[in-house]
Structure 1
């Protein structure tokens, strides 16, 4: 199984960044993509909309369905799933990419931002997975892939940004639980980058243009995701790192993924750089 041709992917946050890169890689195989994201009109600080993403997916060789979706809203997610079924007839793969971030310490974290991260990251991942699962169970190649880190209980990952770590690990716990609950029926895995990835969140929230230069392109995550999603259903319950996935498939020259040449890459959160 080296291709996603003819399969239908439901991808949250697919209007830009890693979600769009995963969608485009699947589109090159001839996959169908439900672009479930919030942005419908151009934003001054954010590239892309669900419509521009759909155009790029179809230009790459796939079929696209843009659906405005706030994954905090139960009815909107159900409507997005229903629209995907009506257009494509089923769902084979669920990609939980949408996420909210705020790297603030406890006193600097207002509860509105805390609630947003919990609603999008933990609850949103659970909700999207739950509503896709009845349809994944009918697929011959069912998979849930969540963009979540390995669960590392080293306190140093909690102290600087406790609220974000709690919310992000909720996505990891959903992966752990679903993988066991649906073992043998649906493959459930998590993928996380070794380094920061050049996305709008890195530019606007984390570190500006300097951090962008020290990041890898989203395509490294897309290529790793493709390798995972083409594995059989018994490949499940894994917390995977992008460069390790590629290395396991013989890809060790990663320079083409660097966003800038001759710079030190910025390690991402939650991953031991010697792992």
Structure 2
């Protein structure tokens, strides 16, 4: 139970990668707070923060705290962090998973889509991290993990999806900056990104539908990679841009077939790689 007693706060924890990480860490003993906007059933989205909390509770022996919140707004962020600290007594790990996506060209990008992506992906990540710092500084092995890509400024991605690319690389710049800024506090700040597309609501509803889902991996591969990263000594593991497959290979895992949604389909590489 390597995470026994650890207090973990996960944004976007209602479904997909966030929920998978929550269940993996809960099974290893962690207390989990999940943040999401979905409190009532939605026709296009799986579950709610409350149904997710029930699943996570069944997976582990620790406490599970569902919090309805919206990280675009400072008062919501403050309430999320305050509620978590009051319930658990602290925060050891922050996982900035919440994200918005719109794969549009510049001419097709509406201001409201730009604002949504940047308010969640960049602004929300920055201010969630800021709000958690007082609690993280008290932890013996504090980690911040962003679900964002390696900082490789390849013109291909900016040319294809400029607004989204800026927002996701903004999340990665938060990793680069905070890792350097927080070295003296021994807080590990890292990024994690999947090598192939992951079967999430965004892939299903926005990116590619059923066909893309069939060519994707399950969120559990990202959760397993996070499980290993977050056990590392924070003071020695910071400023990295990890790929899920690479982490598992380092752990001696070479068979990834069970992660595939449909093993008979060729996998689709994820964006930015």
TM-score (structure 1 length as normaliser): 0.97
Q: Which runs of 5+ in 2 are unaligned?
A: none
Aligned to 2:190: 189
What secondary structure does 2:268 align onto?
coil
Q: Which runs of 5+ in 1 are unaligned?
A: none
What secondary structure does 2:34 align onto?
strand
- Shift in Å at residue 33 of structure 1? 0.7
Aligned to 2:18: 19
2:30 and 2:100 map into 1 onto residues whose CA distance is 27
Q: What are the within-5 Å matches in structure 2 for residues 43-192 of structure 1? A: 43-61=42-60, 62-184=62-184, 185-192=186-193
1:11 and 1:42 map into 2 onto residues whose CA distance is 20
1:126 and 1:48 map into 2 onto residues whose CA distance is 27
- Shift in Å at residue 35 of structure 1? 0.8
* Post-superposition CA distance 1:150-184 (Å, at most 9, x none): 01111001111100000111100000000011115
2:87 and 2:134 map into 1 onto residues whose CA distance is 17
Residue 251 of structure 1: which of 250, 253, 256 is its match?
A: 253
What secondary structure does 1:231 align onto?
coil
1:154 and 1:58 map into 2 onto residues whose CA distance is 41
Aligned to 1:38: 37
1:201 and 1:167 map into 2 onto residues whose CA distance is 16
Aligned to 1:227: 228
1:85 and 1:130 map into 2 onto residues whose CA distance is 14
1:44 and 1:151 map into 2 onto residues whose CA distance is 35
Is 1:197–1:212's contact at 8 Å kept on the other side of the alignment?
yes
1:5 and 1:26 map into 2 onto residues whose CA distance is 9
1:48 and 1:63 map into 2 onto residues whose CA distance is 19
- Shift in Å at residue 36 of structure 1? 1.0
Is 1:94–1:132's contact at 8 Å kept on the other side of the alignment?
yes
1:28 and 1:36 map into 2 onto residues whose CA distance is 19
1:150 and 1:261 map into 2 onto residues whose CA distance is 27
Aligned residues: 270
1:263 and 1:116 map into 2 onto residues whose CA distance is 33
2:154 and 2:223 map into 1 onto residues whose CA distance is 28
1:32 and 1:167 map into 2 onto residues whose CA distance is 30
1:163 and 1:132 map into 2 onto residues whose CA distance is 27
* Post-superposition CA distance 1:69-97 (Å, at most 9, x none): 10001001111111111110000000000
1:201 and 1:112 map into 2 onto residues whose CA distance is 18
User: Superposition RMSD on alpha carbons, in Å?
Assistant: 0.8
TM-score (structure 2 length as normaliser): 0.98
- Shift in Å at residue 209 of structure 1? 0.2
What secondary structure does 2:17 align onto?
helix
